[in-house]
Amino acid sequence: MGRWEPDARGRLLHAALDLFADQGYEATTAAQIAAHAGLTKTTLFRHFADKREILFQGQPALVSVVASGVASAPEEATATELLRAGVRALCEWHVPEQQEIGRRIRPLVDLSPELQERTAFKRSVLAAALVEALHERRVERRAAAALSDVGIRAYYDGFAAWTDARRDEPLWDVVSEELIAIEVALRSALGAPQRLGQDAATR
């Protein structure tokens, strides 16, 4: 044991979640968060580049997770199989504790444009990493880009559904279903043109 309480980052995260829930994101100052974690503002900014990053800690790792997920797929994998491998790796990186954290973060993001901005940025960085990974496995550029959008959407929408669900279903189960559903919907929308407003299932 060192001279300081351990896990400064974790304490800052929980202090932030508590204070944000009480006062809202904007009304809470960095100094307040630091104080609640038994630290000073200076130390907070030694651990996190900015106030928002407290809530997104760990996410930088996702870029390499998705990359190695795709890279380690079987040699003979098709483009959609490579996509599944990448998205699956993302899902398996998450530990059950993040279900609870995600549940607490969501309403904060919904109320704060600043947090929405950071979310959108992280998503775009992750999507770009997935495009690169697919392209390196010889998926053509445009296909890689479009498939990446599909996979990232399944991941985010699936993650939201997962944090909402009380059951402790694995994240990948939820996202995998979402991914398949999107692929089906897209194939049908892009395929033989169908008139809308009719129930396609009845034909």
Partner DNA sequence: GTCTATACAATGATAGAC
Partner DNA sequence: GTCTATCATTGTATAGAC
Question: Residue numbers of the site for a copy of itself (CB under 8 A)?
Answer: 76-80, 113, 116-118, 120-121, 123-124, 137-140, 142-143, 145-147, 149-150, 153, 157, 181-183, 185-191, 193-197
Question: Is the distance from CB of 62 to CB of 41 less than 8 angstroms?
Answer: no
Q: Does 56 bind DNA (CB under 7 A)?
A: no
Binding segment (CB under 7 A) for DNA, from list 31-39, 100-108, 139-147, 150-158: 31-39
Q: Which two tokens stand for residue 59?
A: 């996410």
Euclidean distance between CA atoms 166 and 19, whole angstroms:
24
Residue 203 interacts, among a copy of itself, DNA, none and using kind-specific CB cut-offs from 5 to 8 Å, with: none
**Which of 14, 18, 36, 47 is in the footprint of DNA by CB under 7 A?**
47
**What is the CB-side half-sphere exposure of residue 175 using CA atoms within 13 A?**
25
Nearer residue to DNA within complex by CB, 45 or 156: 45
What is the per-residue burial (b if ≥16 Cβ within 10 Å, else e) of 71-85?
eebeeeeebbebbbb
Nearer residue to a copy of itself within complex by CB, 15 or 112: 112
Question: Is the distance from CB of 48 to CB of 54 less than 8 angstroms?
Answer: yes
For residue 27, count other CB atoms closer than 10 A to its CB: 10
Tokens 């990359």 correspond to 67
Euclidean distance between CA atoms 72 and 85, whole angstroms:
8
Q: How far is the CB of 44 from DNA (least distance, A)?
A: 8
Q: How far is the CB of 12 from a copy of itself (least distance, A)?
A: 21
Q: Which two tokens stand for residue 190?
A: 């892009």
Residue 36 interacts, among a copy of itself, DNA, none and using kind-specific CB cut-offs from 5 to 8 Å, with: none
Residue 180 interacts, among DNA, a copy of itself, none and using kind-specific CB cut-offs from 5 to 8 Å, with: none
Q: Does 31 bind DNA (CB under 7 A)?
A: yes
What angle (nearest 5°) sits at the alpha carbon of residue 116, between those of residues 111 and 119? 140
**Binding-site ranges for DNA (CB under 7 A):** 3-4, 8, 28-31, 34, 38-43, 45-47, 49-52
